[in-house]
Amino acid sequence: MDFDDLSPSGIHRIAGYSPYLDQLAGYANEMSLRQRSNLVQLERALNDYWALGQNSILSWTPLDDGLLVLVVPHYAIADYMSAMPGTDDEPNQITARFIAELISDERQLTLSQMQKVAKLLQVEPNQIHLREALTGHPVETLIIEKMIRRYGINYVESRAVTLFDIVGFALLTPFEQMTQLNSLSYSLNSAHAKMLEQDVSINFARCTSGDGFYIWNRDNGLEANVNLYHFMHIVLADNAIARSKSTSKVVPRLRACFHVGSCYEFHQAEGLNPTIHDFIVGDVTIELARMIDAAMPGQILVGDFVAELDPVKADLTQSQIHLDAKAFMERAQGNLAQLSGLELSGERVSAIKCYLTGERLESGDFNIRKLIIRDKHGLTRNAYNAKVNIYRDVANPILLGIEDKKLPLEEFGGRGAAGR
């Protein structure tokens, strides 16, 4: 990469590394060459402190002539997170919760906060001198935030993630594996394009699970999580249409799981730099991996989660900030109007219904049945079976998921039930 390229397109590549900073494209034209050079210089300095992955950058603070950064060895975060609790006489202020908050959300600290955190962690902040003072422009701040996160670890307390898994993947030839992964990748891109056409925002990221992909929305919040759920069933619909037209093993048969939970986001080292793309691991991916092992071909499972809402943004009281899977699905169904007019395989979608399945009651209504999944370690977890019906103006409806009556009455468990 040419660090002397100070054109807007060059800065777009250097200062934040696409796909982080699409916001920079409009602002770059207003930036002076010196301001652009600042970002290049900062990127170089952060890369040096990162030291091929030896260190992690926790926080930053703007100064008149540059900024302060808090740099710790990569193993130190694990040490902090596992620190033993203190005694009544000498309480330990470095708790796992404190570190989690430090590596969550915005990484910018005030000078006073930086000094207190550095003293608590017994780390001396490092000063980076820049040729020009920072302007404080929101996009400039966003760029620096993205840079800092790229060279550190980020904790997200409530992240929606979906897992698409190709059924029978291990039994395919290498060529068939390649073509089916490529087909799934196309369905992801196609679903993304269709949602953008309906002005439904989703900034999705992916990382491979080997047999498929973990997908998440880089944006946070209830709307972002709901949009990811709708993204999942549009991907499955695109895949179902492609399978109905294919006569070979090019198009995979899928199963999918959706869950909300905590995770860590990071950038693996690739050569001498962190990768552009982020990766995730945490409670949410562990739960998804256990659920997908029990899922039947074509099935959609939803975890038994409790999502945390932002009480300020959603104008909620403290007692209203917890949203369980059932309430989430009600929100998702109520949010489907924004997808009206969506076209699948050239046919306009007239209605979409998403719901959790259950048994028919004497009244004729249906309950919502909670499933028990036992994994290979003997641990159990709860999940729900989901169905999505997509109705089109002329063509037959697309019915996704499995009917409740086709499910085991007791526990799911092991790879046998999963169809592998």
Cβ contacts of residue 100 below 8 Å, gap of 6+?
A: 81, 155, 157
- Which residues in the chain are classed under CATH 3.30.70.1230? 156-418
- In the DSSP assignment, the letter for residue 337 is G
Q: Which residue has the higher pLDDT, 364 or 151?
A: 151
Burial class (CB in 10 A: 0-12, 13-18, 19+), 180: buried
Q: Does position 25 have pLDDT exceeding 70, yes or no?
A: no
Cα 262 to Cα 20, 146, 229, 307: the distances in Å are 21, 20, 17, 10
Altogether, the residues listed in the chain come to a count of: 420
Residue 87: the pLDDT is 46
Residue 3: the pLDDT is 37
Q: Please count the other Cβ atoms lying within 10 Å of the Cβ belonging to residue 219.
A: 14
- Whole-number CA gyration radius for the chain: 24
Q: Does position 412 have pLDDT exceeding 70, yes or no?
A: no
Residue 27: the pLDDT is 56
Query: What would the pLDDT profile of 111-126 be if each residue is shown by its tens digit?
Result: 999 999 999 999 999 9
Q: Does position 314 have pLDDT exceeding 70, yes or no?
A: no
Rounded Cα distance between 395 and 350, Å, is 11
Q: Does position 151 have pLDDT exceeding 80, yes or no?
A: yes
Query: What would the pLDDT profile of 192-244 be if each residue is shown by its tens digit?
Result: 999 988 888 888 899 889 899 999 998 888 888 999 999 999 999 999 988 88
Rounded Cα distance between 15 and 44, Å, is 10
Token couple for 176:
């068939």
Cβ contacts of residue 281 below 8 Å, gap of 6+?
A: 263, 264, 266
Residue 23: the pLDDT is 45
What are the helix and strand counts (H, E) for the chain? 12, 19
> What CATH number belongs to 156-418?
3.30.70.1230
Residue 84: the pLDDT is 56
Q: Does position 283 have pLDDT exceeding 80, yes or no?
A: yes
Query: What would the pLDDT profile of 354-404 be if each residue is shown by its tens digit?
Result: 899 988 777 777 889 899 998 888 888 999 999 999 888 877 889 999 998
Q: Does position 419 have pLDDT exceeding 70, yes or no?
A: no
270 close to 166: Cβ distance less than 8 angstroms: no
- pLDDT averaged over every residue in the chain: 82
Q: Give 336-341 contacts, CB < 8 A, sequence gap 24+.
A: 336/230, 338/198, 338/199, 338/200, 339/195, 339/198, 339/200, 339/230, 339/234, 341/198
Query: What would the pLDDT profile of 320-361 be if each residue is shown by its tens digit?
Result: 567 889 988 888 888 787 787 788 877 888 888 889 998 877
147 close to 50: Cβ distance less than 8 angstroms: no
Residue type, 27: Y
Split at pLDDT 50, 70, 90, the class of 2 is very low
Residue 396: the pLDDT is 85
- Helix or strand (DSSP H, E) at 343: strand 343-344
Residue 17: the pLDDT is 39
Query: What would the pLDDT profile of 64-105 be if each residue is shown by its tens digit?
Result: 989 999 999 988 888 887 765 654 544 557 888 889 899 998
Query: What would the pLDDT profile of 28-53 be if each residue is shown by its tens digit?
Result: 566 677 777 888 899 999 999 999 88
Residue 30: the pLDDT is 64
Q: Which position has the token pair 């092992």?
A: 293
Q: Does position 16 have pLDDT exceeding 50, yes or no?
A: no
Taking alpha carbons only, the member of 322, 259, 254 closest to residue 288 is 259
Token couple for 64:
């008149």
Q: How, if at all, do strands 300-303 and 254-266 pair?
A: parallel
Q: Which residue has the higher pLDDT, 333 or 301?
A: 301
Rounded Cα distance between 323 and 6, Å, is 47
Residue 8: the pLDDT is 40
276-289 mean pLDDT: 89
Which of 5-9, 150-154, 314-318, 411-415 shows the lowest per-residue confidence on average (mean pLDDT)?
Answer: 5-9
